[in-house]
Amino acid sequence: MQEFFASASKNTESALCDELRELGFKSVRLNRGGIPFRGDWSEGWRACLQSRIAQRIMVLVGRGTAQSAEDLYAEIQKVEWGLQLTPKKTLSVQAVTVGSQLNHSGFVALRVKDAIVDQIRDQWGDRPSIDKDDADVKVFVYLANDKLRIYLDLSGQPLHLRGYRAESGEAPLRENLAAAILRMSGWDRQSPLIDPMCGSGTIAIEAAQWAQESAPGLFRQSFGFQRWAGFDADSEAQLRALKGELRSAAKGQRPSVVARDVDGEVLQIAKGNARKAGVRLSFKEQSVFDLQADGPVMTLVSNPPYGKRLATAPDFLDRMGAVFRKLHGWKIALLAGSPAIEAAMKVKPAKKIPIPNGDLDCDLLIYEID
């Protein structure tokens, strides 16, 4: 049994917790920053393949107490690094320290790196080199109140990099954030959904993939764990079998998912991305102002343009708010990159959740229009 940790973007932890429970992971616990769960190795691989909301999946390889550089070195040396790391592999170490005697994360990372490298050199007579950007083995260390937790990152590149979005429009939304917002919007995955300002199509693509239960990781070339020394031919066969199972478990459920944007060029990009992601969407080049209130009732999930990233006409948001207020019976979830969006809606959201989108402070605003 391994203990895993699925890291989450800020304030998406409960959405991730629901997702992992629904996917059948065991010992899932709601926690700040991410969700711990347990299982054998293949459960970690399955999480990489199936989670839409996690940023990374990590496995706990050691824990202890470290109040000094010597304690830290000794704790790190207790881990059997040679299981996954050899001198031929590259290594990176990241550390976070909170409320601890060792309060400099750069120093902690350096000491951890020394302890790992020394152990490998003692074992093999040579050491792995460091690659800060794309290491084979990525180590994460959390030191909170002198309590140390040592993780290996199974994901490699963060999981939002699904592999279907080769091209994006301006200000694209991270795929795992789009997935979190969809779950938080309360969409039932059966009724129609629309993103009337879809850009590169992230929200609509994630919605359609989620509804048909197609595992997002199947579109990735590879994950970090496939580059570890312990990932042998048997592991390869096991992973292939797991992928096959997930492929055949995908459901044919295809609710109507509508993707619109006023910009025809960006819509072409969205079409290409949807094709690569294996989903069929209903595309139309149309302005949000032409959204009809007398059509079928839908869930609307969108990330409207906002001053900092995309210029809009001065009355854009007021006009958009006026259109949205007429959508009686609709559920509307907006990832708002500016307080002006909430002001323009002129009605109080049923929920308002701060969610950063990269370096931008955003709010997820959820409305039930009467």
Ligand X SMILES: C[S@@+](CC[C@H](N)C(=O)[O-])C[C@H]1O[C@@H](n2cnc3c(N)ncnc32)[C@H](O)[C@@H]1O
Q: At 352, list the tokens.
A: 């308002």
Considering beta carbons, is residue 231 or 306 the nearer one to ligand X? 306
- Contact by Cβ (8 Å): 137, 85: yes
Q: Compute the distance between CA of residue 105 and CA of residue 323 in angstroms, rounded to an integer.
A: 49
- DSSP letter (8 states) at residue 172: P
CB of 261 to ligand X, least distance (A): 5
CB of 173 to ligand X, least distance (A): 4
Considering beta carbons, is residue 62 or 192 the nearer one to ligand X? 192
Q: Compute the distance between CA of residue 286 and CA of residue 226 in angstroms, rounded to an integer.
A: 43
Strand order in the sheet with 351-357: 282-285, 257-261, 193-195, 299-302, 331-336, 360-368, 351-357
Considering beta carbons, is residue 20 or 320 the nearer one to ligand X? 320
Considering beta carbons, is residue 117 or 173 the nearer one to ligand X? 173
CB of 338 to ligand X, least distance (A): 11
Q: Which residue in the shown chain puts its C-beta closest to ligand X?
A: 199
CB of 233 to ligand X, least distance (A): 39
- Contact by Cβ (8 Å): 16, 29: no
Residues in the chain: 370
For tokens 């990372």, what's the residue? 109
| Residues found near ligand X in the complex (CB under 6 A) | 168-169, 171-173, 196-197, 199-200, 202-203, 261-263, 266, 287-289, 303, 305, 310
Considering beta carbons, is residue 179 or 266 the nearer one to ligand X? 266
- Contact by Cβ (8 Å): 11, 176: no
CB of 335 to ligand X, least distance (A): 8
Q: Compute the distance between CA of residue 368 and CA of residue 370 in angstroms, rounded to an integer.
A: 6
CB of 201 to ligand X, least distance (A): 7
Considering beta carbons, is residue 102 or 184 the nearer one to ligand X? 184
Q: At 138, list the tokens.
A: 């990525």
